[in-house]
Structures are given as C-alpha cells and as structure tokens.
Amino acid sequence: MAAAPSPSVPACGDLPAAVSAFADAFVDFAVSGIFFPTPSSSSAAAATSSPPPAPTAPTTFLPSPPRLVAIGDLHGDLPKSLSALRLAGLVPAPSGPGPDSPAASASWAAGPTLAVQLGDILDRGGDELRLLYLLRRLALSAEARGGALLPILGNHEVMNVSGDFRFATPQGLQEFSAWAGWYRAGLAIKRRCGEHLDPQPRNPFLGVPKSFPGVKPEFWDGMRSRLAALRPDGPIARRFLADLPTVLVVGDSVFVHGGLLEANVEYGLERINAEVSEWIRGEGSENARAPEYVRGRDAVVWLRRFSDGFDCDCQRLEEVLGMIPGVKRMVMGHTIQTVGINAVCGAQAVRVDVGLSKGCGNGLPEVLEINGGGSEVRVITTPPSEAWMYRKQEAEKAAVEVKEKRGEVKDGLALLVRESHGLKEVEAKA
C-alpha cells in the first residue's frame, strides 16, 4: 500500500499555484532583494480555484496607539529613508560599518508603535521601487509584532498614477526598466502552466506606447515600464498604492499630505479614501482622471495653506479641525521645512517634510513622535555626531540653487526631454 503524500509536498494539482508563487517571489527578490511571506501550498492551491477576495477600502480612523511616529516625504532615497526609520527606532541599527541587507532593514523593531509616512515616496530619486517594497515588507513585519506602518498617498503618487512623470529621474526610469525585465521573466514562468493557471496572468504592457515624442529615445523603455507599472490597475499601483489612505485619523491627529479644507471633510474622509483607491485599482471608466479632490491647488495632496510659512490662516484651520470629532492637530508633509519639523497655530498645524531626499534638499533626518494619547509631542532629530554629514553640504546646495535660478540646472523629466518640448500626462490605451 502506497504511503499517503506528505502535506508539505505539493501535489500535481497544486503545481500551477506553486509555480505562480515561485515566479512572484523570484521577481520580488530580483527587484528588491526582499522575500515576502508566501502562503502554504494548500492555501495557494485554494486561491487558484476561487475568486480573489474583494479589495478592502483603506483605513481611515484608528485609535491612539502607545506610541505614534510620523515621517515626512522620502522621494526615492533609500539610504536617507533608512536613516529616518532608524532614527524613529522602527528598524534595527546597522550591524556593521557597511550597509545592511534589504531583508535586515525590513525587520520591525518598534513593538506596538504605529508609524505614519506622509507620502511622496516616488520621484526625485532612483530607489522608488526599492522603497515601496521595503515599506510594504516592513509593514508586514510590524503587523506580526503588534505595530503598524501606514504610508499615505502624496501628490507624487497621484501624479505618477496619472502618467505625469515630470519629476522622474534617469535613475528612477532605469529602476523601472529593470523591474519590467524581471516582471516579463515572471510572466514567462507563469505561462509555462498554460490554461491550468486561473486566473491567467495579465500583461500590463499591452496598450502602453512604445515611443514618447519629445523624450530622448534612450528613456523610452523606462517611460513605458513606469507607465505600465503605475497606471490605474498597473501591478505596482495596485499592489503598493491602491490600499493606502489619502487621509488618516489616528487618535487626536489627522494626517494628510497637503491639507484639508471644509469641503473635504464635508465630502467625507472615508469616501475620499475609497474613491481614490477605486481609481488606482482601475475600477472607474476607461482612462478616468484622478478624483477632483486630489487635483489642483486646493486638493488634499496639493494644499499648502497650512504648511507654507509661519503666517497661516489659523482660524480656518481651527474650523476644519473642529469638523472632525476629537481631532486637535493636522500633520502634513508636501512643503519642505528648511528649519526642520515645526508647528504653528498653537501646534494645530504640524509640518514634517524636512526635504530628506538628496534629490529634494538632502535635509537633516527628523521624525515626529506623539505619546500619551496625544499629550506628549516631540521632534527626534539626528544627533550632532551624524549631523555634520548633511550640514557640510549647505554651501554646495546654495551654489546649486543659484544655478537653478539661472536655468543652468534641470530637474526631473527636464533632463530627459529635448529642448523646446512641453510636458504632459501620458495615457495608455485601456
């Protein structure tokens, strides 16, 4: 009598699911150097025989945690982002003089801490995908250890899903080109299963332009790869952006990239989160534009009314906060604070974007910490023993600013575009 197969060994019927899981893990590691937790063979097999679960709406309201941390814009700079994460005590200190492996940096070290990242992970740097992977893997690690890491959407995430790549860099496009090569390899592995794989893998490159008039040809592949990855229902947009909130209320603090006005609160914070999520998942009409409340000067991801300068409309801010029960402060990113994290309007407006990324100021890493259910608020800044690494570049940064004013320095997509050509959003055919 033949022995029953071990439950740990996939049966033939499980093979398509096992191949698909291997392909996904292969692509993840090739792109980011990180492995994600994978379901068991039995649960993977069950996933192929039943429809995927309905997507859940992003989180909007959470109670106060024992410790709450806020980190500003990251803009494609992995080393500086890791500096901020370590400063907040969210990841372990480096084990040696050299850089740690991506896997070591994705291990949560902060117990029940809840950390909010204020958006703008994308653009201005060359580590955009590696940052998305790291933050998602770190969020899974935090959840397993009783904590949470919740990025929210910034205007640069909205711009990229809309096909607006004005602030993409050559290094960023190269990263997406590399992703596309590995993703195609993963698709080829999955297709070896033929009709046995259900659902069939979708090719995100179908309908995406192969040429981009006005852009230098050497960047076309990066543009195409970026568009395929980040357009509504693109694999990177759906996986890493669609479930992120646009607005998040934690205890007595509301977190938003740009800011909120009365009309936004009246429209409904949960409604805003749900509708932006649906747009990123591609569930609107073909080639649908981003919802109106994330487009334009007064949009929730673009507003600077409470983050630009120290002469803010404090009365209006107080009125907006009064519309959200129990909320005492608005925490924002988006506008670089050259003096570091600060607050105005009796600490009702807290601004945490320190221009961290080397592509956006190379600011001194700082994080905001809120304890005691909101009663204790402090700024954690880089210690003097490390701060010199950033301060010594002030003269160099000032020289670059002078050249920028003269038009001698180009930023983002301006590096990629031929002279005399305008920039516009790029659309893919549905």
| Residues recognised as catalytic | 156
What gap in Å lies between CA 268 and CA 291, rounded to an integer?
13
Task: Answer for the pair 216, 417: CB distance below 8 angstroms, yes or no.
Answer: yes
Q: Which residues contact 17 (CB under 8 A, 6 or more apart)?
A: 10, 41, 44, 45, 47, 48
User: Beta-strand (E) ranges in 245-332?
Assistant: 247-250, 253-256, 329-332
DSSP type of residue 376: E
Neighbours of 249 (CB within 10 A): 21
Please name the helix (run of DSSP H) or strand (run of DSSP E) that holds residue 70, with its range, or none. Answer: strand 67-71
Q: Within 13 Å and on the Cβ side, how many CA atoms surround 222?
A: 18
The total of other beta-carbon atoms located within 10 Å of residue 58's CB is 22
Sheet architecture: strand order including 349-351 = 61-62, 247-250, 253-256, 329-332, 349-351, 342-344
Do 105 and 82 contact (CB within 8 A), yes or no?
Answer: yes
DSSP label at 241? Answer: I
Alpha carbon of 214 to those of 207, 302, 382, 415: distances in Å? Answer: 20, 27, 42, 12
Do residues 254 and 260 make contact, with C-beta atoms less than 8 angstroms apart? yes
